[in-house]
Each structure stands twice: as C-alpha cells, then as structure tokens.
Amino acid sequence: MLDFDTLTYDPNTPSFYLILLSTLFSFFLSSLIAITYQLTTKTIYRRAHFLQALVLISMVAAMIMQAIGDSVARGLGILGALSIIRFRTVLDDPRNITFMFASLGVGIAAGVVGFTVALTGTLVFCLAAFILRASPLSDNNELIGEIRLQVAKEDRLRGIVEGTLDRYCRDYELEKLRYLNPKRLKRYTAQGVPVVEEISREDLQEFTYLIRLRSSASVTALTTGLEGIEGLEDLRLNFQQRQTKL
C-alpha cells in the first residue's frame, strides 16, 4: 500500500514535503475526476459547487489520513468529531454519488502514500466513464412522459391502449385508473344570471400512464396512434425530467 519509497515515511510524524506532495497529488487526480464528470455528464444541471466539491473533498480526505497515521486513538477521535457534523446535502443521482466516492478514494489513497493505487484507480475510473458515455447504457432519452386519456368504459379498450403503447414505448406503467363522475360547469347568461350545466361522464374511464419512448419512435407517431382508438374522448401528453428513485 505504501509504495512511495524515495522519501522516508513515518505514519506518525510525516514530513512537511510528504504532506504537501500527497495533498497536491490528490488535487491533481481529483481534478481529472471532475473534468471527466464535466465531459461525460449529459444533464444541464451541473452545478459548479459540486465540481469544486469533487476536488476539495479529495484533499480533505488526504489531510485526514495523514493526520490519523497509524494511531487508532486518532482515528476514533476523528470519527467522533465527524459524527458531530450533520451532512444534509442530498445527492439524488447515484452517478453523482459514485464520482464523490471516487474522489474520496483518491484522497484516502494519496493520504496513505499509495500513489500508484491512486493514479491507477483514477485512470481506469475516468476511462470507464468515457466508455460508458459512448455505450448504449448512456441513453439520450431521459424524459418520462405522462399520458392521460379518456375512453369509453369498456374492458377491451385498455388492451387496445396498451397495445398501442407497446408499439411506440420502450417502457410504460399504469399510474392511475379512475371512473369519471358527472362534471358541473357554471356559465352566465347575457343578463349575468349564473346557469349550472351538468355534463354526464358516466360511461367514461380515465387512464394515466408513465411512458418512455423507443429510440425509433416519435411523439407525433404516438399521438396519431392513440387518436385512432375507438371511443377516445380526451388525450393529454406531457414530458418532463423526473428524479431517480432508489
């Protein structure tokens, strides 16, 4: 693990130059990780503070490991001190958590003078990130669509709707099914007298689906296919970016 042989290394009393070298080395490698994250991340929600955190947290980890050395008492003391701090920052993307752990790993390896481990791990990690960026695992279609449509209250129509979704959607999920009650509308006459009208919807059912389109499909083709369903009364389609749920 301790593969730095050109300097005399004492874990309990590391020299100033060794501490400086390990900190600068963690800064250099974590900067490569931050640049890799910037180049391989497709989302526009790339906060500058997160990129800075990727670099700085590696240097903090290296400093902590140098401070601990081989002392169990120091390790327990730092563990107790860190337990006082409440970290409430939420990383909702598992990929962001992975990059944060990679930066921490670089700092830990550099802090214990495992420069070969840190360098090799960083290069392989960054190469893997670029390979995954160009692979089919990195899909451009991240938008989740919500379809809300009203059809006649017949059991066979659900199979027709889902058959249409099978042709155009890679994944779909029925989120809500409800039977509609009569709807009341209020309008005013020319004299300003309110008149309540009741629209009967007793024979209608409303489906709400979450969908993800196929790469070869389009929103126009999906809409055209759904509009051809017999008894379709209303159709609404909305696409938005949804957070990853774990």
pLDDT at 79: 60
Which ranges constitute the DSSP H helices of 185-233? 219-227
- The phi, psi pair for 191, rounded to 5°, reads -90, 0
Q: Count Cβ atoms within 10 A of the Cβ of residue 111 and give its class: 0-12 exposed, 13-18 middle, 19 or more buried.
A: buried
Helix and strand tally (H, E) in the chain? 7, 6
In angstroms, rounded to a whole number, what is the distance separating the alpha carbons of residues 239 and 210? 9
Whether the pLDDT of residue 186 is over 70: the answer is no
**Per residue in 54-73, is it b (16+ CB within 10 Å) or e — as a string?**
bbbbbbbbbbbbbebeeeee
**Model confidence pLDDT, tens digit, residues 142-167:** 678 888 888 888 888 888 888 888 88
In the chain, the domains with their CATH numbers are: 16-134 (no CATH), 144-240 (3.30.70.260)
CB 194 within 8 A of CB 187: yes
pLDDT at 32: 95
Whether the pLDDT of residue 2 is over 60: the answer is no
For the chain, the residue count is 246
**Model confidence pLDDT, tens digit, residues 62-83:** 888 887 776 665 556 556 555 5
Whether the pLDDT of residue 27 is over 90: the answer is yes
